[in-house]
Amino acid sequence: MEPLSTVSQTDVLVLSCDLITDVALHEVVDLFRAHDATVSMLMKKAHEPTEMIPGQKGKKKPVEQRDFIGVDDTGKRLLFMANEADLDEELVIKRSLLQKHPRVHLRTGLVDAHLYCLKKYVVDFLAENRSLTSLRSELIPYLVRKQFSSAACVRQGRDSKEQDQKKDEKSLDIYSFVKGDSLLELAPDKSCWNNLRGDMSEAFHGGRVRCYVHIMTEGLCYRVNTLGLYIEANRQVPKLLPALLCPEEPLVHASAQVADRTLVGSDSIIGPSTQVGEKTSIKHSVIGTTCTIKDRVKITNCIIMNSVTIEDGCSLQNCLICHNAVIEKGADLRDCLIGSGQRLEPKAKHLNEVIVGSEQLMEI
Amino acid sequence: MAARGSGRRGAGSGGARGPDPQEEPPPPLQAVLGADSFNRRFFPISKDRPRVLLPLANVAMIDYTLEFLTATGVEETFVFCCWKSVEIKEHLLKSKWCRRTSPNKVRIMTSDLYRSLGDVLRDVDAKSLVRSDFLLVSGDVVSNINVSAALEEHRKRRKLEKNVSVMTMIFKASSPGHHARCQEDDIILAMDSTTNRVLHYQRTQGLKRFRFPMSLFQSNIETVEVRHDLLDCHISICAPQVLGNQIHMHVTTEEYGARVSNLLMYEAVCSDIIRRWVYPLTPEMNFTDDATQSYTHSKHNIYRGAEVSLGQGSVLDENVLIGQGTVIGSNCSITNSVIGQNCKIGDDVILDGAFLWNGVHVADRVKIQQSIVCDEAEVKEGAILNPHCVLTSQVVVGPDIVLLEGTVISLHSPDEEEEDDDEFSDDSGVNKEESKVKLKGYNKAEVGSEGRGYLWKAADGSEADEEEQRQSLWGPTLNPEQESESESDLSQDSEQPDSRAASPQLDDVKVFQNEVLGTLQRGEEENISCDNLVLEINSLKYAYNIGLKEVMQVLSKVVLEFPLQQLDKGLDSQHYCVMLIPLLKNWSPVFKNYIKRASDHLDALSAIEEFFLEHDGLRTSIAKVLMTFYQLEILAEEMILCWFSQRDTSEKGRQLRKNQQLQKFIQWLEEAEEESSEGDQD
């Protein structure tokens, strides 16, 4: 994050590279601009996995360590944030928070999309304060907490610390970085109706650090950070692809050779130079480039990466097949995960297994 | 629906035309009213009069509660009395509730044995008084809430899932710091926003931060709502049998509901009544149907009873209620006050926020602020009552006395109160007390030269106690919110930097070191076997994600530092060795467990070296320590030699190696090795 402060001269949008979403980005940015927020972020209800994850016993919870997200009545202002891992037996909420926002909706089933809009001064603050190492688990909760401590108190607190000769770098505070908007400071004095309601009311009513969150109610938003979510995302994306992203591009690539009597589902993707044999059916699946799929193969709910060979008469259901794998004749696979370069015996039968080379363990 | 229940019944049983004709009409609504507070918050006022009969805007509190119940459709009310039950009974028998035309049948149950609301409910159950869902209120609730919506919800819930929900509590939404929110009863709630189920209920008094057990969030509740904007109206709808364990809630935003739980609330509720928040329960409605309680309402919320005379130049500013037959002298100024019936108020009197009950005499030039003067009390010329004073009935103060803030004066001696422990049943105390008054006499300094009454305070009478007394009678005052906030922020601030002092990666090794030290100490004290120590260290290793190399270093360091901790810092090497060697002997299995490969040996040696570099004074003992390690077969001789001959050492390290004893030891080792190798050759 440090180099960013030298590069960026304005407010920044930070996002993680494993985010797949069709959110209208302006929602987050609008929130950020309308409320003159310190930070605004994107969240989404956690998905229930629709299918089993290959090679995994039982269904996993959608979110392993739940986040507790507190929002106000409008569902936009972010008031509270804590992770289950940081809490012991109980969840603690300060009185000062409840005094300002008597109703807090604590939600647990949300996932953070790791998309943040940050003010310039937050970046500066981050550059100065080296003890903050993680954006998600340290900086954001810090900002959320700081919303309800006023600057005056902070200053007072620091004075007392100075007396104790303890003024160290850690007492660096976000407030010293908040750049007051001169217009905003002027406004309460100059305007005749200062009990302003509306988007900027928070700014008028004292809170100098303001965090907002946009919670998606519908639409697609995946953070592909686990295998399960990767598979899930692969299932969902083909459905949306024609409508949203590239309407002119066909799902079955022009250079793919698909035999006439083959069934290809409308939500399946077949990559370039892939050959598909006779009497093969492909449903709800994604197939990569230069694969060879022979005759009478059934592929349902699968993700098949590039250069995979599947021989005659195989049946694959809910599987993930990595690059260069070869599946010999008549194999029957369900809920399996096949590592790259693996070669399966003819007529092999596998159910809910992970088959990988021992040297390259995949993390599930 | 239930609110109209009484009306519907009056118009014949035409209720069958509901949406579902199959559905039976709900049984008549019943209510249980606890006409006893089961606490002594209103002492000494409640010594003369039970709390439910205290006049609130000249009407007894219980009348408000009964009117609320009747208006909401209750057809049968059980009033449970305990303290001063005779007076309550008498009051109720005279009131309109016991007339034949009353839509709400009031049945009075008295017993001296009730000690809590729980006792009352047990009695309700024992006598099987209620047939269906009933309302539970206490006799000091003032409200105009129509509970029908809540009742409907409650019944639906109970129908949907039998024996799950037992109670629906009624809350009123009001922002924090609202004057009708009693600080003592201030609550914070956690609720399930989809089902309105109450998950957590907590009083907030004196708390800076609120704790919610994690178990609240375990179940499949999507959104838990934490609400601090609710006022508990102390009205609940209960199921006749307690068979479930869930409590639900109903929130009203428009209507009024509050419980008079202390004098501050008395003041707040009283002024709300006068300001017409509890409409239709306003003074001029005369809902008690009492001829003496008719008032005319004029603008600025001035209410005047019959035959009120107001002297020349007297001003009734706003929010004033004056009872029948009261005479007010000239040039008075009265605001935000309630004056009872047949009071006499002299000239040049200033009343601001005063609550005068019936038959009070206030002489000339008196100033009363935010105080309560009970029945037939007398305030003589020139007396000044500062805020939060209380004069109980028949007390006389003055002339020309200034009562400090929070003074409470009663005819009952505070000493007597102690003897009178059994306050709920003992009525005879009043008679005894008369004789006592004569015995003791009044303190003129406290009540003025013509005064009658005792300053009510705890036995030793220290100032702190007086404050406490005021606290308990009036209840905590509303603090300016900012203040409490800043305090909490300060504490929060001072905590925070500590909590994440350094970046976590560095921390772990340090924490691990401390843990290992603790483990070894315990091992030493409790004689834990080395196997168990190894087990513990291993678990720590995983807990803090420490590599083997670090474990080695930490272990050596901790063990070598061990004697230092036990004695003072200024330890000479002689002593040090004496202390260390037995320790090493004890823990040699631990070392052996970790030091296996060649690199482990070198790691341990470098840790030892580091330690001795840090402790100059002990440097001479390094040879002995290494010797011990060697003798215990923890460190192999080749490894020691290898370490000794390491090239890439620092300046200091080289100095260390020049140590004479160490050199000797090394020499000895070399010779020994030669010998052994020679032996091998032979």
CB contact under 8 A, B214 and A90: yes
Report which DSSP code applies to B357: -
Lowest mean pLDDT segment, chosen from A66-75, B437-446, B488-497, B598-607: B488-497
CB A231 within 8 A of CB A335: no
Q: How many other β-carbons are positioned within 10 Å of the β-carbon of residue A30?
A: 16
Confidence at B463, pLDDT banded by 50, 70, 90: very low
Mean pLDDT of B344-369: 92
> In this complex, which of B210, B222, B228 lies closest to A107 when CB atoms are compared?
B222
Q: Where are the alpha helices (DSSP H) in B322-401?
A: none
> In this complex, which of A92, A154, A168 lies closest to B211 when CB atoms are compared?
A92
Q: List phi, psi (to 5°) of B22.
A: -70, -30
The alpha carbon of residue A118 and the mean position of all alpha carbons in its chain are separated, in whole angstroms, by 17
Portions of chain B given CATH number 1.25.40.180: 508-676
Lowest mean pLDDT segment, chosen from B105-109, B214-218, B287-291, B632-636: B214-218
CB contact under 8 A, B210 and A93: yes
Lowest mean pLDDT segment, chosen from A147-161, A222-236, B388-402, B558-572: A147-161
B17 to chain A, closest Cα gap in Å: 40
Q: Does A85 touch chain B (CB under 8 A)?
A: no
Q: Which residues contact B623 (CB under 8 A, 6 or more apart)?
A: B659, B661, B662, B664, B665
**Among the CATH numbers 3.40.50.1000, 3.40.50.300, 3.90.550.10, 3.30.499.10, which is that of B30-206+216-265?**
3.90.550.10
Work out whether strand B408-410 and strand B390-391 pair parallel, antiparallel, or are unpaired. parallel
CB contact under 8 A, B217 and A138: no
CA atoms within 13 A on the CB side of A118: 27
Query: Does the pLDDT of residue A182 top 80, yes or no?
Result: no
Q: Which residue of A has its CA nearest to B481?
A: A99
CB contact under 8 A, A107 and B208: no
Query: Does the pLDDT of residue A125 top 60, yes or no?
Result: yes
In sequence order, what are the beta bridge partners of A94?
A: B209
Nearest to B339 by CA among B325, B350, B323: B323
Mean pLDDT of A70-94: 80
Pick from B175, B496, B506, B507 the residue to mutate for testing the A interface (most A CBs within 10 Å). Answer: B496
Q: Which residue has the higher pLDDT, B44 or B370?
A: B370
CB B249 within 8 A of CB B198: yes
CA Rg value for chain A: 26
Sign, Cα dihedral of A117, A100, B223, B216: positive
Portions of chain B given CATH number 3.90.550.10: 30-206+216-265
Burial class from Cβ neighbours inside 10 Å (0-12, 13-18, 19+) for residue B1 reads: middle
Q: Residue written as tokens 């428009």?
A: B254
Q: Which residues contact B126 (CB under 8 A, 6 or more apart)?
A: none
Report which DSSP code applies to B213: E
Q: What is the pLDDT of residues A313-356, one digit of tens each?
A: 888 888 888 888 888 888 888 888 888 888 888 888 888 777 77
Chain B residues within an 8 Å CB radius of A129: none
ipTM, 2 dp? 0.72
CA distance A171 to B641: 49
Say whether pTM exceeds 0.90: no
Pick from A93, A134, A155 the residue to mutate for testing the B interface (most B CBs within 10 Å). Answer: A93
Report which DSSP code applies to A137: I
CA distance A146 to A143: 5
Q: List phi, psi (to 5°) of B251.
A: -110, 130
B177 to chain A, closest Cα gap in Å: 8
User: Crossing angle of helices B463-474/B263-274, nearest 10°?
Assistant: 40
> In this complex, which of A106, A145, A170 lies closest to B225 when CB atoms are compared?
A106
B505 to chain A, closest Cα gap in Å: 10
The per-residue pLDDT for B367 is 92
Q: Does A163 touch chain B (CB under 8 A)?
A: no
Q: Which residue of A has its CA nearest to B487?
A: A153
Residues 112-141 of A with CB under 8 A from B: 130-131, 133, 138
Q: Does A247 touch chain B (CB under 8 A)?
A: no
CB contact under 8 A, B176 and A66: no
DSSP-derived 3-state class of residue B585: helix
For B291-413+443-474, which CATH class?
mainly beta
Query: Does the pLDDT of residue B676 top 70, yes or no?
Result: no
Query: Does the pLDDT of residue A112 top 90, yes or no?
Result: no
Query: Does the pLDDT of residue A59 top 80, yes or no?
Result: no
Tokens standing for A236? 């969902």
Q: Which residue has the higher pLDDT, A363 or B136?
A: B136
> In this complex, which of A104, A131, A145 lies closest to B503 when CB atoms are compared?
A131
In this structure, which long-range contacts are made by residues B265-269, counting pairs with CB atoms below 8 Å and at least 24 apart in sequence?
Answer: B265/B180, B265/B182, B265/B475, B266/B54, B266/B56, B266/B355, B266/B372, B267/B353, B267/B355, B267/B370, B268/B179, B268/B180, B269/B56, B269/B142, B269/B180
Report which DSSP code applies to B168: E
Query: Does the pLDDT of residue A137 top 70, yes or no?
Result: yes
Q: Does A148 touch chain B (CB under 8 A)?
A: yes
The per-residue pLDDT for B620 is 73
> In this complex, which of A94, A130, A138 lies closest to B492 when CB atoms are compared?
A94
The per-residue pLDDT for B502 is 35
Lowest mean pLDDT segment, chosen from A152-161, A312-321, B140-149, B507-516: A152-161
Q: List phi, psi (to 5°) of B124.
A: -55, -45
CA distance A251 to A242: 8
Distance spanning both ends of chain A, measured CA to CA: 29
Chain B residues within an 8 Å CB radius of A84: 214
Classify the phi-psi angles of B503: left when phi > 0, otherwise alpha if psi is within -120 to 50, otherwise beta.
Answer: beta
CB contact under 8 A, A99 and B502: no
C-alpha to C-alpha distances, B178 to B160, B173, B185, B202, B562, nearest whole angstrom: 36, 10, 13, 18, 60
A314 to chain B, closest Cα gap in Å: 41
CA distance B272 to B268: 6
> In this complex, which of B208, B224, B501 lies closest to A95 when CB atoms are compared?
B208
Q: Does A92 touch chain B (CB under 8 A)?
A: yes
Tokens standing for B503? 């970046």
Report which DSSP code applies to B634: S
Tokens standing for B407? 């003074």
Nearest to A231 by CA among A21, A109, A22, A54: A54
Confidence at A60, pLDDT banded by 50, 70, 90: very low
Pick from B203, B221, B228, B253 the residue to mutate for testing the A interface (most A CBs within 10 Å). Answer: B228
Q: Which residue of B has its CA nearest to A160?
A: B494
The alpha carbon of residue B192 and the mean position of all alpha carbons in its chain are separated, in whole angstroms, by 22
Query: Does the pLDDT of residue B160 top 80, yes or no?
Result: yes
- Starting from the edge strand earliest in sequence, which strands make up the sheet with B384-385, in order? B315-316, B333-335, B350-352, B367-369, B384-385, B402-403
CB B446 within 8 A of CB B461: no
Q: Which residue of A has its CA nearest to B177?
A: A99
Q: Which residue of B has its CA nearest to A101?
A: B228
Pick from B208, B249, B493 the residue to mutate for testing the A interface (most A CBs within 10 Å). Answer: B493
Portions of chain B given CATH number 2.160.10.10: 291-413+443-474
The per-residue pLDDT for B410 is 85
For B508-676, which CATH class?
mainly alpha
B225 to chain A, closest Cα gap in Å: 4
CA distance A182 to B207: 37
Confidence at B602, pLDDT banded by 50, 70, 90: confident
Q: Which residue has the higher pLDDT, A173 or A257?
A: A257
Q: What is the pLDDT of residues B235-257, one digit of tens each?
A: 999 888 777 778 888 888 888 88
Give the angle subtended at the CA of B659 by the CAs of B657 and B665, to the nearest 5°.
85
